[in-house]
Structure 1
């Protein structure tokens, strides 16, 4: 009898085990389907994570004493956040609905906007203008462009005001980026509009009500030029810097600083944007959104500017212009420029540019704040730069402290006679500065050019390398180069394209190449500061956002930064300082009548530059002068330095306006210091 096999029994056990395993899996799948099926399906449907950035209010600006200069004011806003792949027809529908609830602010609608709108609302009629052959041989883009070209003026004129309003709204919707809120309207949104739109949001997918912010200026127009502007949401980030901003997580329609301090300190003022991650499904529907970075308001700037002093200086310049601007000889006079700064630290205290706009048929005469001209406009400085010329003479070795020249008319062959304002006789460097001798500076220029033996009516022996040498000395003071101020742009003046001995003589008395008022302020600050050229700056501190009552903690302090020490012996610098003292305090000083015997002791240099004016045909129409003044005080321990430029004053019609402004602004500064003590 054969033994009985155990194989069927073992197979039964195996089959039973497999049955139990499958039963367990089926139960588990059922649980997953019933309890977590929806969540699991969402995971399967997820296709993309999109991160969007929500801008925050910009940082505020304060003056050196904590007075607020720029604030943010909240305002109602209507926004649109488009889903992915939204179709033009859907945007048109939303725009049409929204037009029933808001009045769109005025905005120029381009011809292209109107054509796009007309095609969208007259699609069948528009494409009927294409022949069958054209439709066959053209792709979609070519067809659309051809249809655009065939829209007539009559078609566009048929659009009603209501349709143009819808077109304006749709244009805003078209500029929105997927899943990113875009401002449709934020100017003049009324409470009624805000409430009505909020009530009908469910009719307009993506439309929402929100709050936006706008810059306000509690101090009025004072110093607004240097605060700068920010782009509007219609313009967004500047087109010439799109890549720069996009790589820094900016949206295309985001507002950014466009000029001056708003642009220079954009990275601090902009703050930390709020970031959301949006998860979408295969149909581009948002499954969920989550906050991944909380927004932080931009950091605040504390400026070096003294707003109280700034207003006083503005008023002083305006009043001094009013005294003489209506003289017939001053018909070309239209502005006064002033910069005040601390020579040891580079802190800018005031930057004033008051311009007079004469009456026209359409407007009465008025004064305007154009302080940016202190940085952008360059003018011939006249004798104000003679301190640099004397130092160039000392350092180049062509003069010493004992050098004496006889101040008398200088006549070079084939040129006009050159002279000082009067024949001064024998002068050394001190009397040359005190009495403003042109001839002393002419001899410095001739000697630097290689000619030590002046003979009347002879030609000069001139080495053109002297121009480079003289310019290099001037540049050490900041004349003809950037001062380094914390602004996106500053002018450096205009370098002449001719280099002759006669022109170098003109250069040495400030009659050849122009400089900005800021450059002149840095130049005299360098002399006041014993030869150290310090970078001027408008911002003292960057702070974390504070409260309405108190500034926030300091994030960064911007202290003094020395650009260079001029390559001249200290004894020469002290010699020029002595000369500047005598200009303001000596018995024959050109400004002593204004500054001698004051409660404070000041020093500096006056300047007058001839400025002939010509018409378009090159004919001389007027003889004017640029009146300038540079200085600092107190003489022994300088706290403040200044530069003043009053261009295009009529000959002998200035009445010392440069000196009058200089005395009054120093009086204002020291009176304010006394009051604060």
Structure 2
């Protein structure tokens, strides 16, 4: 009994200890909660209110563009820029408040900016200043069934012209600023002003950033052209901040990570190589509260400006070619000072026939409205012209390969008259007997006519006067075109440019049309197509893709020199003309005789200290204006390559609508001066740095040999 009583007495003591321990634990917990609530409550509340991490992308400068010798063609000019990145949940009233404050520090009063303020912009501003009065103009009955947007638009409609007609200049500046702020997307910088931002404006805005949520004073870049307008029509343009992404391609750009107000290439090489030039945006990750207040930021991706492009173009040579083309166009135009339909263009393309590298692409365009001459280089790729006799090399090769003429076959040049077709003859009436080579040398139309007739199945020789063609091969026209296509005539050249014309193809199929096609008087081609055509002949039948891009370089932080090679562009053989090489040898000999042995170009090049081969061409064309026939005129054209023994330069020249003077030789003057300039510059460079020149020549030879293998 004693032991039992003792055990019962011990139990309450243990329970008391347990209760005491529990009491201490609760006391500590209550104390800790008090500390959390009272001392650290605000910090923990901020932690609770944090949103997900948001990332903004900061634009970087575009890549630069250089010529083949490392001269900067397109650069970036840093300019001060005022931008706005709207916080989350920002309202129209908030943007107005920021605009009013920013208007105290920057000027937005240039004429163009103020002219772009619309009536709606003014009404939206008046509405924000007089919101209660404006909302009271619509009754509940009038707004019944309307959504918020419809009510807002109806309210704006009720604001009178008188109410928005007397804004001060300061108020108009506020409206102009708010207009830019309204374009901004969440966490995407929108440029408010980046043209003519003064040092004072930049500094004062930077000092007062804390007063204007979302505003930043930063740097933007505009494209700069050290060579002025040279090549600019081919380099292309980039969009402005006002334009942003092109509407028709917006979804495509957005899917690639662009923002709506990003500046992108819109034409030319800027568009062609947008993916390389755009660079990698700097990505900053923000942590914000639910109210939009930024708590922290971290750079998660370092920005890198776009990659640099090295073009095949020789800008020093390009400038000289531009000068030659414009001067000769002006000189020819002086014959017809009051005839605006004549001599509106002169175009030239110069390329390496072995590699396809474009050395110069030039065009001068006479603007009859302004009476000024403009850069028209892009027209060498976009405008199709009647080529005339320059295509006769392709016609002879079609005849030889199809077997309708044999090597050395002689035909007497006399006019041909087929039924219901005008008399068809050569320009010269005393050509006499010619074979496939001398027909090119003397530019016999009749020889080409017989090739066309025989391809159609008509084998009578001489052809009976005024009789119908006995056409047994209905596919002959397409067969002849297929031969032309192998040289790049009538098809894409494959040039690295966003828009290229493939020429114009006539839709007739008569024997007369085919005969005219054989002398270059039917289908039409661009100058770059003709350059590829003559390059193919110079290159022993290998059609090489013409290209502007030579290399892509990694950008360097210093931005003062070229970085490591990212990519090199080598010669790309698109096809080999499918015919016996000996046929091409014969056409090459014919082309040589044109320039060197009494041919149609001999008198213009016989004293040159280099050897040239090629073909002349005079085409009959009709000038139209809005469908109205203005005049019949001539187009003087020329294709060729040099040196004949080892071609390193090929060229094509078109001077359309040269007027009524058949003796106009502007095409030859342009061709001779271009060739003289090329070889003189080559000599000067070799003398200045012989080792570099020899290394370059050896490298080009190696590239060509590798491509052929």
TMscore range, shorter length: over 0.9
Q: Give the match for residue 654 of structure 2.
A: 645
Equivalences for residues 254-269 of structure 1 within 5 A: 254-269=262-277
Cα shift at 1:35: 8.0
Residue 169 (structure 1) aligned to one of 177, 182, 196: 177
| Residues 280 and 303, structure 2, Cα contact 8 Å, conserved in 1 | yes
Q: Give the match for residue 278 of structure 2.
A: 270
TM-score by length of 2: 0.90
- The count of residues paired between Structure 1 and Structure 2 equals 671
Residue 673 (structure 2) aligned to one of 646, 664, 668: 664
1:48 aligns with 2:59: no
| Residues 53 and 250, structure 1, Cα contact 8 Å, conserved in 2 | no
Q: Give the match for residue 200 of structure 1.
A: 208
Equivalences for residues 23-422 of structure 1 within 5 A: 25=29, 40-104=44-108, 105=110, 106-107=112-113, 108-328=116-336, 331=340, 332-358=342-368, 363=370, 365-422=371-428
TM-score by length of 1: 0.94
Cα shift at 1:120: 2.8
Equivalences for residues 544-555 of structure 1 within 5 A: 544-546=554-556, 547=558, 549-555=560-566
1:492 aligns with 2:486: no
| Residues 401 and 429, structure 1, Cα contact 8 Å, conserved in 2 | yes
Moved more, 609-618 or 258-267: 609-618
| Residues 658 and 664, structure 2, Cα contact 8 Å, conserved in 1 | no
Equivalences for residues 419-458 of structure 1 within 5 A: 419-423=425-429, 424-453=431-460, 454-458=463-467
1:628 aligns with 2:632: no
**What are the superposed Cα offsets for residues 80-108 of structure 1, whole Å, 9 maximum, x if unpaired?**
12111111011112112222222214331
Structure 1 distance, partners of 2:496, 2:125, is 46
Gaps (5+ residues) in structure 2?
Answer: 687-709
| Residues 464 and 500, structure 1, Cα contact 8 Å, conserved in 2 | no
| Residues 408 and 437, structure 2, Cα contact 8 Å, conserved in 1 | no
Residue 461 (structure 1) aligned to one of 457, 470, 476: 470
SS at match of 1:401: coil
SS at match of 2:285: strand
| Residues 324 and 654, structure 1, Cα contact 8 Å, conserved in 2 | no
Instruction: Sort the Cα spacing of 1:161 and 1:434 in 2 relative to 1 into closer, same or farther, 3 A.
Output: same
SS at match of 1:632: strand
| Residues 46 and 280, structure 1, Cα contact 8 Å, conserved in 2 | yes
Instruction: Sort the Cα spacing of 1:443 and 1:16 in 2 relative to 1 into closer, same or farther, 3 A.
Output: farther
Structure 2 distance, partners of 1:479, 1:155, is 65
Q: Give the match for residue 689 of structure 2.
A: none
Residue 515 (structure 1) aligned to one of 525, 543, 564: 525
SS at match of 1:113: helix
SS at match of 2:144: helix
Cα shift at 1:25: 4.9
SS at match of 1:482: coil
Cα shift at 1:357: 3.1
Structure 1 distance, partners of 2:679, 2:496, is 27
| Residues 53 and 275, structure 1, Cα contact 8 Å, conserved in 2 | yes
Structure 1 distance, partners of 2:159, 2:474, is 65
Cα shift at 1:456: 2.1
Instruction: Sort the Cα spacing of 1:25 and 1:129 in 2 relative to 1 into closer, same or farther, 3 A.
Output: closer
Structure 2 distance, partners of 1:512, 1:177, is 54
Moved more, 194-203 or 207-216: 194-203
Cα shift at 1:160: 3.9
Instruction: Sort the Cα spacing of 1:16 and 1:392 in 2 relative to 1 into closer, same or farther, 3 A.
Output: farther
SS at match of 2:299: strand
Instruction: Sort the Cα spacing of 1:185 and 1:508 in 2 relative to 1 into closer, same or farther, 3 A.
Output: same
Structure 2 distance, partners of 1:120, 1:530, is 75
Gaps (5+ residues) in structure 1?
Answer: none
SS at match of 1:48: coil
SS at match of 1:74: strand
| Residues 379 and 516, structure 1, Cα contact 8 Å, conserved in 2 | yes
Structure 1 distance, partners of 2:455, 2:119, is 64
Structure 2 distance, partners of 1:53, 1:406, is 74
Moved more, 452-461 or 90-99: 452-461
1:601 aligns with 2:611: yes
Q: RMSD over aligned Cα, in angstroms?
A: 2.3
Structure 2 distance, partners of 1:268, 1:340, is 26
SS at match of 2:361: strand
Cα shift at 1:452: 2.0
SS at match of 2:365: strand
Cα shift at 1:425: 2.7
